[in-house]
A and B are shown apart, each in its own frame.
Chain A
């Protein structure tokens, strides 16, 4: 028995028992997903998929990456995108495809011919399953990278702490992209709020290596060029020891253990500046 007659057998079986198979398939997948998707919606999705596969096989193909399966592939990609967005696991998503194997198994393993046809069909479903997991992963990666971008925006606020004092609480990893965002925001806020003091708080930065230190120093130098005093606060004991062991020198940049100390110092200087201004007028 050759591939063509296998396909004919499969197409015949799938066409004759469409309703029965489809109901079973929907039920099996429904159990896996434990009611997180309505039966009606699932039935519609799988029905479309079933018909697309059947149509492609009627055209005489069993190649999941061939042109006849284009329709099936786009349906599967849509299915896995939806599943990925709704938070289903990759196993649950791919099982939607593989469950059809289990449904067909009792009807197609009666004799040697149909068993051979079943094996070929199983191979087709394996191919489609792989495709599904690829699409699932791609969607997840898209979600992750868009979240990373959102995080970049979220995690770099520049806040006004007092008249003339702005603060930058840094949280997480400080890479070149983040430094750029922080620096731009800080410099702009210094101008907008007419501030003379900036405090960069690194309590939330877990690792300060030479790259992070270099980025911090650049930010401080840029703020100084605009005439602002810049302090780095939130240096925890373990970070201080590590920075010393690494051999990084912060030079004459004032640093503090806590944000409150840095703020107190900044307020003192702001007050002194104000006094000087008054005296200058008199």
Chain B
């Protein structure tokens, strides 16, 4: 995945430490998606993915921060969102990305479902935290 964060002139950053923050983060992503001209279906998919990843960050990573920006690739507009936490990390990424597997009491579809909802998905995890980057294109 391209380093979109480095290319963006203006990244909006919000901290996520309560479930109320997840709601306001979701609104920020929704506004960016509307401005980027994403269709209603794409907007909803992106916002839902952001909601899943934001909540994962809160529940399993103890909160973190979210950066988002409008990006373009060859004239195609899109939205880039990065979720970064300083939690314990994910021990087995392949397992975590399996449908139905959860270490908590959720449905086990958050991470794998979020990957299906967006166009680009990139996850890095280590003992010092987890970073997930996603991009959803307008078309």
- Chain A residues with CB under 8 Å of chain B are 173, 175, 206-211, 213-214, 237-239, 241-242, 245-248
Contacts and interface: CB of A to CB of B under 8 A. Distances in A.
B55 A209 contact: yes
B26 interface: yes
Contacts of A210: 52, 106-107, 109-110, 113
27 contacts: A173-B23, A175-B19, A206-B30, A207-B47, A207-B48, A207-B51, A209-B55, A210-B106, A210-B110, A210-B113, A211-B55, A211-B106, A213-B107, A214-B106, A214-B107, A238-B41, A238-B44, A239-B44, A241-B45, A242-B45, A245-B45, A245-B117, A246-B109, A247-B99, A247-B109, A248-B107, A248-B109
B116 interface: yes
Interface in B89-139: 99, 106-107, 109-110, 112-114, 116-117
B51 A209 contact: yes
Contacts of B9: none
Interface in B19-43: 19, 23, 26, 30, 40-41, 43
Contacts of A238: 40-41, 43-45
Nearest to B46: A242
A61 to B, nearest CB: 38
B41 A237 contact: yes
Nearest to B59: A211
Nearest to A212: B51
A211 B110 CA distance: 9
Nearest to A217: B107
Nearest to A172: B23
Size category of the binding interface on chain B: 20 to 34
A214 B55 CA distance: 14
B119 to A, nearest CB: 12
4 residue pairs, one from A and one from B, having the closest CB atoms: A246-B113, A238-B44, A209-B51, A238-B41
Contacts of A175: 19
Contacts of A207: 26, 44, 47-48, 51
B52 A209 contact: yes
A248 B113 CA distance: 9
A172 to B, nearest CB: 9
B59 to A, nearest CB: 9
Contacts of B112: 247
A45 B112 CA distance: 60
A246 B19 contact: no
Most A C-beta atoms less than 10 A away, residue of B48, B114, B117 = B48
Interface in B59-89: none
A141 to B, nearest CB: 12
Nearest to B19: A175
A48 B45 CA distance: 57
A15 B6 CA distance: 60
A174 to B, nearest CB: 11
Nearest to A239: B44
Given A173-B23, A242-B117, A247-B109, A209 B48 contact: yes
Nearest to A213: B107
Contacts of B117: 242, 245-246
Most B C-beta atoms less than 10 A away, residue of A175, A208, A210 = A210
A175 B55 CA distance: 11
Nearest to B117: A245
A238 B44 CA distance: 6
Most A C-beta atoms less than 10 A away, residue of B23, B26, B107 = B107
Given A175-B19, A241-B41, A246 B55 contact: no
B122 to A, nearest CB: 18
Nearest to B51: A209
A245 B116 contact: yes
A179 to B, nearest CB: 12
